[in-house]
């Protein structure tokens, strides 16, 4: 590390995730000598806030990475495809929040609570997993270690912030139009249908197998992060009219029996997890309480009475924090801890 810290680029700094990356870097006092915000030419010259100061946004260009040690990317898949290799070539370590590099066999896909060891083989680009996958594996890894997960059936209830700033505005505008009796003026732009007071069982595009890309990300990324191709995963991903916080109903089948009580005790000790599970007091995780929090919240832990070794869980986390910005910053912190972040 340089005397006064690392030079850090945030690419996509004006976006829903980029802004929170800046917030998280500041609140965790990341050892940054300098933080440089990048976005497209559209917002070059505008400002973003970091540690109470206004930083001027620069346009991301091919030659932007000289002298930068660490680049956190959240500017969409095509931007990452183009710029992440250029950044790595310039000697900078990239933590990329898009899906561009996640399944690349040359790029580790990392959740620090689950597979920090995979950082050891990085070659410049480290992928940050899909938001729904991150919170699920944080909750499931301790169970997999203790009882061996054979199969996962997950249904998601995903907030609009996962789609980005424009989707947040779309939900807010649609709700306003509806309350003003102007429902006929609603014109969905970001989503294929109205999202206000609705649920959309489509996240991202449909693939040849009739699953969506989001659903298959959960299937494939879970196996890569857990380092276990034998886990069977099936997912239904649903967009719901919530601004922040993804929820998931997760059903698992394990090799060894784990009672609900044992599972509660296990997860109470697990890194990054907070158990909120007291049905008689109506205590369970909800997105309104997870918003702005770092933890992955787990509740409604109960045995699946239809099979021998089954459990049901309800998993909630702030998709912009643990699902994106926080996980990326935690990866960077782990790189420093493991002595894997070099100065450019």
Does 75 bind ligand A2P (CB under 6 A)? Our answer is yes
Is 92 considered catalytic here? no
Does 245 bind ligand A2P (CB under 6 A)? Our answer is no
Does 39 bind ligand A2P (CB under 6 A)? Our answer is yes
What are the C-alpha distances in Å from 111 to residues 98, 225, 275, 299, 334?
Answer: 14, 7, 19, 21, 10
List 7, 14, 109, 244, residue binding ligand A2P (CB under 6 A): 14
SS (H, E, C) 230-279: CCEEEEEEEECCCCCCEEEEEEEEECCCCCHHHHHHHHHCCCCEEECCEH
Q: Least distance in Å: CB of 42 to ligand A2P?
A: 4
- C-alpha span between 93 and 70 (Å, rounded): 5
List 1, 2, 27, 42, residue binding ligand A2P (CB under 6 A): 42
Contact 129, 221 (CB under 8 A): yes
Q: How many residues bind ligand A2P (CB under 6 A)?
A: 18
Considering only residues 18 through 37, tell me which ones interact with ligand A2P, judged by CB under 6 A.
18
| 294 C-beta neighbours (distance < 10 Å), count | 17
Segment contacting ligand A2P by CB under 6 A, of 87-95, 159-167, 189-197, 284-292: 159-167
| 209 C-beta neighbours (distance < 10 Å), count | 8
Task: Out of 92, 107, 131, 263, pick the active-site residue.
Answer: 131
Does 47 bind ligand A2P (CB under 6 A)? Our answer is no
List 6, 7, 8, 15, residue binding ligand A2P (CB under 6 A): 15
Paired residues of 252 in beta bridges: 152, 311
List 165, 198, 220, 251, residue binding ligand A2P (CB under 6 A): 165
Contact 65, 5 (CB under 8 A): no
Residue 311 exposed, middle or buried by CB count within 10 Å (0-12, 13-18, 19+): buried
Give 190's DSSP letter. Answer: S
Does 162 bind ligand A2P (CB under 6 A)? Our answer is no
Q: In what order do the strands lie in the sheet with 70-73?
A: 58-59, 32-39, 6-11, 70-73, 93-96, 125-127
Q: At what angle do helices 131-147 and 213-226 cross, to 10 degrees?
A: 40
Segment contacting ligand A2P by CB under 6 A, of 8-16, 88-96, 215-223, 268-276: 8-16
Q: Least distance in Å: CB of 166 to ligand A2P?
A: 6
Is 117 considered catalytic here? no
The residue among 31 and 76 lying less far from ligand A2P, judged by its C-beta, is 76
- C-alpha span between 148 and 150 (Å, rounded): 6
Task: Out of 92, 144, 246, 263, pick the active-site residue.
Answer: 246
Segment contacting ligand A2P by CB under 6 A, of 97-105, 160-168, 189-197, 264-272: 160-168
List 40, 173, 202, 220, residue binding ligand A2P (CB under 6 A): 40
CA angle 204, 130, 90 (to 5 degrees): 110
The residue among 16 and 218 lying less far from ligand A2P, judged by its C-beta, is 16
- Active-site amino acid positions: 131, 246
Residues binding ligand A2P (CB under 6 A) = 12-18, 39-40, 42-43, 60, 75-76, 79, 164-166
């Amino acid at each position: 590390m340089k005397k006064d810290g690392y030079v850090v680029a945030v690419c996509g700094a004006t976006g829903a995730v980029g802004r929170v990356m800046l917030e998280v870097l500041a609140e965790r006092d990341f050892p940054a000598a300098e933080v440089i915000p990048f976005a497209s030419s559209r917002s070059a010259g505008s400002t973003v806030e970091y540690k109470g100061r206004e930083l001027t946004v620069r346009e991301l260009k091919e030659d932007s990475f000289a002298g930068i040690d660490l680049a956190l990317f959240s500017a969409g898949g095509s931007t990452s495809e183009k710029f992440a290799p250029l950044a790595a070539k310039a000697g900078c370590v990239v933590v990329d929040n898009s899906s561009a590099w996640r399944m690349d066999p040359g790029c580790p896909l990392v959740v620090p609570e689950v597979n920090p060891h995979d950082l050891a083989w990085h070659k410049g680009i480290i992928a940050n997993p899909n938001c729904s996958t991150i919170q699920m594996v944080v909750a499931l890894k301790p169970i997999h270690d203790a009882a061996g997960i054979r199969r996962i059936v997950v249904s998601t209830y995903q907030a609009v912030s996962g789609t980005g700033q424009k989707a947040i505005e779309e939900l807010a505008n649609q709700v306003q139009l509806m309350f003003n009796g102007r429902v006929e003026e609603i014109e969905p732009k970001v989503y294929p249908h109205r999202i206000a007071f609705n649920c959309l069982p489509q996240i991202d595009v449909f693939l040849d197998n009739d699953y969506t890309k989001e659903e298959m990300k959960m299937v494939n990324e879970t196996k890569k992060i857990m380092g276990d191709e034998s886990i069977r995963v099936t997912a239904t991903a649903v967009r719901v009219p919530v601004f922040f916080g993804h929820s998931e109903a997760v059903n698992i089948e394990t090799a060894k029996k784990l009672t609900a009580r044992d599972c509660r005790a296990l997860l109470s000790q697990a890194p990054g997890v907070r158990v909120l599970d007291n049905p008689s007091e109506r205590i369970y995780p909800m997105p309104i309480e997870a918003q702005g929090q770092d933890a992955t919240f787990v509740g409604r832990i109960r045995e699946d009475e239809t099979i021998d070794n089954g459990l049901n869980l309800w998993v909630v986390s702030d998709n912009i924090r643990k699902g994106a910005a926080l996980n990326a910053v935690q990866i960077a912190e782990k790189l420093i801890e493991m002595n894997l972040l070099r100065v450019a």
